[in-house]
Structures are given as C-alpha cells and as structure tokens.
Amino acid sequence: MTAMPVAQSSLGGRDLLSAADLSASEVQRLFDRATHLKAEFRATRRHADPLLAGRTIAMLFQRPSLRTRVTFEAGMAQLGGHAIYLTHETVLGARESVRDVARNLDRFVDAIVARTGPHQVVVELAAQAAVPVVNGLTLREHPCQALADLFTLRERFGRLAGLVLAFVGDGNNVYHSLALLGATLGVDVRLAHPEGYGPDRRIVERARELAETTGAALVFGHDPAEIVRGAHVVYTDAWTSMGQEAEAEERRDAFAPYQVDARLLETAGPEAMVMHCLPAHRGEEITSDVMDGPMSLILEQSENRLHVQKALLVELLADEAARAEPPASAGGRPEASTTPV
C-alpha cells in the first residue's frame, strides 16, 4: 500500500446539489480516488476493501435514467453497499410532501440520490434530510455528469487547466454544470447556442466568480463554427431535455444549424475530441459517424460515471478512518495522483 498525498476529506456528510459545491482540491481528491477505484475494478472486477459495507442509499427518480441509475446502483453493490430505486410512483410532493419523504428516508438510509424536474425539489430535500443528498439531474444542473466528463478529460489530456471545451446546443443543465466545474478547474467553457436558448444568468455569474481564481474564460456566441475553432473538445447534448417535450418541435427548428457533424468537427481541428452525455438523438444534435468515430470519448464518459460516483460515495459515506486513509494502490502510486487538476 503506497501512501498518496491527498488533502483531508471534507465531503463527509455533505450534499452535492451543484457543480459549484466542490472546491478544486476536493475535486482533485475525488478524481484521485476514482483513478484508483477504476484501476482496481478494471483489473479484477472487484474491490479488495468493501468501503461501503452495510451502507444504503435511496434513489428517488422522477425522470427516466440508464446511466445515472445503473452506475449508482452497481457502484453501491461493488463497494459492498446497497441502493434502493424508487420510481416515479413515490411521487414527491403528491403522494407525500417532500419534507415527509426526506424525514422518513433519513431514518432508513445513509444518503439520497434524487433526479427531479425543478431544482428546488432537491434543494428542499437537502434542507429537510439529515443525510447527504446528491443531485442526479434537475432541469438546472447535472453535477455528477460534469464530474465524470472532466475526469475523462483529465485522463485523456493529463491536465485540465488551459483546456477549451466548446459546447454546441442548449444552455441547459449539462452546460451549467460544465461551466461551473470548468471555471473551478481552469477549463475554458464556450457555448454556441441559438437566440433564446442561452444559459441561466445566475449560473453564468457564479461561474465568472469561480473563474476569477483560475483565469478560465466563459465565451458565448451563436455561430458554432466560430465557437469550436481550436477547441480541445466539442460537446453536445439533446436539444430537448426531459420535461421540455412540449417544445420539441420548435426546438428542432431552432437547433437545426447546431448539429455536431464531421464538417463542424473538422472546423474544430484535427485533434478535437467529441463528447455527449447521452442519451443521444442520432441525426439531430449529433451524427452517427461522429458519435461512433475515432475522436469520440462518449463511452469513456459513460463508463467514468461509475468510477467517479463510486469515489463520491466513498467520500460522502465511508467511515471517517476509511476516508482519511489515502486510496491504496497495489502497483504503487496511481498515475493521475501527480496530475494537476
């Protein structure tokens, strides 16, 4: 077991509602732990030390999910714990108030992962529950996605500071979390969006405040070609997010010039990588050739949801002694532990 120089954990018992809830050093620690967990899991499909034995989480999902649900559930099982998936039938606020749900669940389980429409619901859950609440996507943010995405970029480029991520499409929940986390970690996050589909101003203000310490630039425009030129990565997401289905037709018209295709990628440059949080709508925001092409990091991003969220669960829930213990590495210090965020 080789000791790793990591900051003391300060995440124990905390909520993760926004990508702005974590400092750069907290993210670095999380990424180092995720690197270790990923290496161990890939080598053996097992973890020698079940750090979450006896721990349970509840997963309150008011929207469908493949990745978020399966990675949290599988992650808890792989770490020796258990996750309970609660479908939309446990309607928050209809069958039972959010307050009552929170104050029952915190007597049963050690944390709650919630996917809701309005962001205010996860804020209220967190205010009422005595256990950590993790945002598994709201209309405002998707912090777990942004963490996995920037972890993927750190793996690929060996650094984060100075990278340029060009987001093409809607100034939505995924963009918001990427902008906040990018600002914290020194990644320039650009956005090309149609008129009327820009981000929430409060998020941009917060991201600008965070960027003051890292020098990250937030750039906006309406011309995708201009925004992607010279970017390290071109990122896109659905034109219509969950909960906006009634607007799908008008959104399809507004976003038609914002498709990520081979021509746009060529404009970005020969080294530009491609990202998408999934689920994708092939032929709409992204073409199949780009999605399945050699520059795609999309499946890495998806896999990394598992490793990064497991690291998050350990930081939030493991016994103090286990959290304070630096991630062990059978083969010596994990490579990324020396990588600056």
Among 59, 137, 160, 341, binds ligand CP (CB under 6 A): 137
Closest CA to 19 of 312, 336, 339: 312
19 vs 216, beta carbon nearer ligand CP: 19
Give, as ranges, the residues between 264 and 283 that touch ligand NVA (CB under 6 A).
277
Quickly list DSSP for 267-285: HH-TT-EEEE-S---BTTT
Looking at 74-82, 233-241, 246-254, 286-294, which segment touches ligand NVA (CB under 6 A)? 233-241
Cis before residue 257, ω within 30 degrees of 0? no
Q: Does 19 interact with ligand NVA (rule: CB under 6 A)?
A: no
Sheet holding 218-221, edge to edge: 218-221, 188-192, 164-168, 233-236, 273-276
Q: Which residues lie closer than 8 Å to 54 by C-beta, 6 or more apart?
A: 80, 81
Q: Which of 70, 242, 295, 328 binds ligand NVA (CB under 6 A)?
A: 242
Are the beta carbons of 150 and 307 closer than 8 angstroms? Answer: no
Report the nearest approach of ligand NVA to the CB of residue 278 (Å). 7
Does the protein bind ligand NVA through residue 174 (CB under 6 A)? yes
145 binds ligand CP (CB under 6 A): yes
Residue nearest ligand NVA, Cβ-based: 241
Could you say whether residue 237 binds ligand NVA (CB under 6 A)?
Answer: yes
CA dihedral sign, ordered 293, 150, 75, 339: positive
Under rule CB under 6 A, residue 277 binds ligand CP: yes
| Beta carbons within 10 angstroms of residue 195's beta carbon | 7
Decide the pairing of beta strands 164-168 and 233-236.
parallel
Q: Which sequence positions are flagged as catalytic?
A: 115, 142, 145, 237, 277, 305
- 150, 185 contact by CB (below 8 A): yes
Residue 68 near ligand CP by CB under 6 A: yes
Which residue in the block uniquely carries the two structure tokens 């990644």?
Answer: 187
Span 68-107, contacts to ligand NVA by CB under 6 A: none
Pick the piece of the chain touching ligand NVA (CB under 6 A) from 1-9, 168-176, 256-264, 309-317: 168-176
Candidates 26-34, 165-173, 179-187, 272-280; binding stretch for ligand CP (CB under 6 A): 272-280
Complex with ligand CP: residue 68 or 214, whichever CB lies closer: 68
Please choose, from the candidates 182, 277, 269, the residue with its C-alpha nearest in 3D space to the C-alpha of residue 225: 269
Task: Kindly indicate which of the ranges 176-184, 191-199, 222-230, 273-281 contains the residues binding ligand CP, using the contact rule CB under 6 A.
Answer: 273-281
Gyration radius of the chain over CA positions: 19
**Shortest distance (Å) from residue 134 CB to ligand CP:** 13
Query: Footprint of ligand NVA on residues 199-228 (CB under 6 A)?
Result: none
Q: Are the beta carbons of 302 and 296 closer than 8 angstroms? A: no
- Per CB under 6 A, residues contacting ligand CP are 65-68, 137, 145, 277-279
Query: What is the contact surface with ligand NVA in residues (CB under 6 A)?
Result: 137, 172-174, 237-238, 241-242, 277
